[in-house]
Chain A
Amino acid sequence: MIPLSWYLAVAAVLFVMGFYGVLARRNAIAILMGIELMLNSVNINLLAFWRYVHPTDVAGLVFAIIVITVAAAEAAVGLALFIALYRLRDTVNIDEVDLLKG
Chain B
Amino acid sequence: MNATLFLIPALPFTAFVLIVLFTNQNKKVSAGLTIGTTAVSWLLGWYFAFRAFFSPHEIASEPIRLTIPWFAGGYSVFYTGFQVDVLTAAMLFMVPFLCLLIFIYSVGYMEGDPRFSRFFAYLALFATGMLGFVMADNMLLAFIFWELMGVCSYLLIGFWSYRKPGETHIDHAQVIRARNASLKAFITTRVGDTVMLAGMVLLYAMTGSLRWSEVLSHETLHMLSEKIANVPFFGLTPWATVLAILIFWGAIGKSAQFPLHVWLPDAMEGPTPVSALIHAATMVSAGVYLIIRTFPLFHAVMEGHNGALLFVAFIGTFTAFFAATIGVAQFDIKRVLAYSTISQLGYMFAALGIGAYIAAAFHLIMHAFFKALLFLSSGSVIHAMHHGHHVAHAHGHGDHEEEDHFNPNDMRNMGGLLKKMPVTGWTFIAGGLSLSGFPLITSGFWSKDEILSDAWHGGHMVVFWTLALAAFLTAFYTWRQIFMTFFGEPRTEAAKHAHESPKSMTVPLTILAIFAIAAGWSGIPESFPGLGALVHGWFQSFMGAQAHAIGLEVEHLPFDARPLLISVVLVLSGMTAAWLLYGRRSNVTEHGYVDPLEPALGGLWVAMHNKWWVDEFYQGTVIAFAKWFSHFAYAFDDKWVIDPIVDGVGRFGRWLAVSVRRFIDEQIIDRLVNATAWVSNVVGEWARQIQTGQAQNYLLAILLTVGVLLVLGLGW
Contact = CB atoms under 8 A, between A and B. Distances in A.
Please say whether the chains A and B touch (CB closer than 8 A): yes
A22 interface: yes
B703 A100 contact: no
Nearest to B695: A94
Interface string A88-102: 000000110111111
Question: Chain B's interface: helix, strand, loop or mixed, by majority?
Answer: helix
A7 interface: no
A100 B691 contact: yes
B168 interface: no
B235 interface: no
Given A19-B703, A23-B703, A98 B692 contact: yes
Interface string B675-716: 000000000000011111111100110010000000000000
A101 B692 contact: yes
Contact of B696 (A22, A99, A100, A101): A22
A23 B691 contact: no
A99 B703 contact: no
B691 A102 contact: yes
A94 B695 CA distance: 8
A23 to B, nearest CB: 5
B691 A101 contact: yes
Number of chain A interface residues as a range: 10 to 19
A26 to B, nearest CB: 9
Contacts of A94: 694-696
Contact of A102 (B693, B695, B699): B693
A22 B692 CA distance: 16
A102 B689 CA distance: 7
B690 A102 contact: yes
Contacts of A97: 693-694
B685 to A, nearest CB: 10
A23 B700 contact: yes
A23 B700 CA distance: 6
A19 B707 CA distance: 13
B699 A22 contact: yes
Contacts of B696: 22-24, 31, 94-95
Interface in A1-60: 19, 22-24, 31
A52 B192 CA distance: 132
A30 to B, nearest CB: 11
B700 to A, nearest CB: 5
A42 B690 CA distance: 31
B695 to A, nearest CB: 7
A95 to B, nearest CB: 5
Nearest to A99: B693
A100 B696 CA distance: 13
A98 B689 CA distance: 12
A26 B699 CA distance: 14
Contacts of B703: 19, 23
Contacts of B695: 94
B693 A98 contact: yes
Interface of B: 688-696, 699-700, 703
- Give 5 closest A-B pairs by Cβ, nearest first: A102-B691, A98-B693, A101-B693, A102-B688, A100-B693
Interface of A: 19, 22-24, 31, 94-95, 97-102
Given A98-B692, A98-B694, A100-B691, 6 more contacts: A23-B696, A23-B699, A23-B703, A94-B694, A101-B692, A102-B689
27 contacts: A19-B703, A22-B696, A22-B699, A23-B696, A23-B699, A23-B700, A23-B703, A24-B696, A31-B696, A94-B694, A94-B695, A94-B696, A95-B694, A95-B696, A97-B693, A97-B694, A98-B692, A98-B693, A98-B694, A99-B693, A100-B691, A100-B693, A101-B693, A101-B694, A102-B689, A102-B691, A102-B693
